[in-house]
Amino acid sequence: MVTVVFGASGNVGRHVAAGLSSAGEKIRLTSRNPLPTGFPPGAEVVTADLERPETLPAVLDGAQRVFLYAKPEGIDGFVTAAESAGVGHVVLLSSGSVIHPDAAHNPIARAHIAVESALENSSLAWTFIRPGMFATNTLWWWRNSIREEGTVRVPYPDAQTAPVHEKDLAALAVTALTQPGHRGHAYPVWGAESLSLRQQVRHIGAAVGREITLEPISVEQARAELGKTMPPMGVDAILAAWRAGTTAPPRVSTVVADVTGRAAHTFAQWADDHANDFR
């Protein structure tokens, strides 16, 4: 039984590939620019692009299961190719934004809703994984300033978020792909602990072995700072989440433990895993 992993070199996809390989599953890994290294030994690695539907039939030939990331520009071509290939089950890495009350006005949510809807309206069985805040977002926000200055600048130092380790999202995907009982389920995923940005910076400092200065800045300064590494709609979403985290703690969840049987990673563990990224 072949499982295709789209985006196998991505933050989540590479851990999905590793998890499936460790479970003894036959995997076919796709990337727009596959590298000769970094993938599990013995894995079949192919070039594919969800925005180029002509690349998909060969990739999906003989596949029974697929791990997919949300790409609205290519979802119609994917559905057509997957149905033609006889794919039985698609596990989609979606977004927690789709269940937000403001989803209809959120461009990130709308993009993910479009992909979910296409799968729901197809003949394919599906499972949706809907993460909240990715712990890896801190690499976009703070990596450069920590490396270069030992400083993090944020508008709301005491805003709380519940970051999710990418390994936990991958573990959910691997479980959904390999175990019965997950078809037709949508799993909202928040971290298992709520932490202020100040606490998160302290954990990163402990992981890298240096003190990191936290410098409060204005919202407009933060917008400019975040805009160096993120698109405008991403900046808006992050600032809104931080602002919300100043008035009420974010949701936390036990879904990782409930579904996989293993406790979710803490942010301190995530920081240890990524210490070299901040050095």
Predicted confidence at residue 230, as pLDDT, reads 84
Q: Which residue, chain included where needed, has tokens 């180029």?
A: 52
Q: What is the average per-residue pLDDT within 226-241?
A: 88
Q: What is the average per-residue pLDDT within 116-137?
A: 97
What confidence category does residue 85 fall into, taking pLDDT thresholds of 50, 70 and 90?
Answer: very high
The superfamily (CATH) of domain 2-131 is: NAD(P)-binding Rossmann-like Domain (3.40.50.720)
pLDDT at 198 over 90: yes
| Residue whose C-alpha is closest to residue 239's, from 251, 222, 262 | 222
pLDDT at 103 over 80: no
Predicted confidence at residue 190, as pLDDT, reads 94
What would the pLDDT profile of 135-189 be if each residue is shown by its tens digit? Answer: 999 998 999 999 999 999 999 999 999 999 999 999 999 999 999 999 999 999 9
Predicted confidence at residue 106, as pLDDT, reads 81
What would the pLDDT profile of 3-62 be if each residue is shown by its tens digit? Answer: 999 999 899 999 999 999 999 999 999 987 766 567 888 889 998 999 999 999 999 999
CA dihedral 181→58→11→249, nearest 10 degrees, is: -40
**Cβ-count burial of 36 within 10 angstroms (0-12 exposed, 13-18 middle, 19+ buried)?**
exposed
Q: What is the average per-residue pLDDT within 92-107?
A: 87
90 or 71, which is more confident?
90
Predicted confidence at residue 36, as pLDDT, reads 56
Q: Which two structure tokens, joined as six digits, stand for 143?
A: 């990596």
Q: What is the average per-residue pLDDT within 255-265?
A: 97
- How far from chain centre, in Å, is Cα 119? 19
Predicted confidence at residue 100, as pLDDT, reads 83
Q: Which two structure tokens, joined as six digits, stand for 232?
A: 């405008």
Each domain of the chain, given as residue ranges in start order, spans 2-131, 137-163+192-250+266-278
pTM of the entire predicted model: 0.94
Predicted confidence at residue 31, as pLDDT, reads 81
pLDDT at 132 over 90: yes
The superfamily (CATH) of domain 137-163+192-250+266-278 is: UDP-galactose 4-epimerase, domain 1 (3.90.25.10)
Q: At a CB cut-off of 8 Å and minimum separation 6, what does 149 contact? A: 213
Predicted confidence at residue 224, as pLDDT, reads 92
Sign of CA dihedral 125, 131, 135, 140: positive
Task: Measure the CA–CA gap between 3 and 262, rounded to whole angstroms.
Answer: 23
Q: What is the average per-residue pLDDT within 192-196?
A: 95
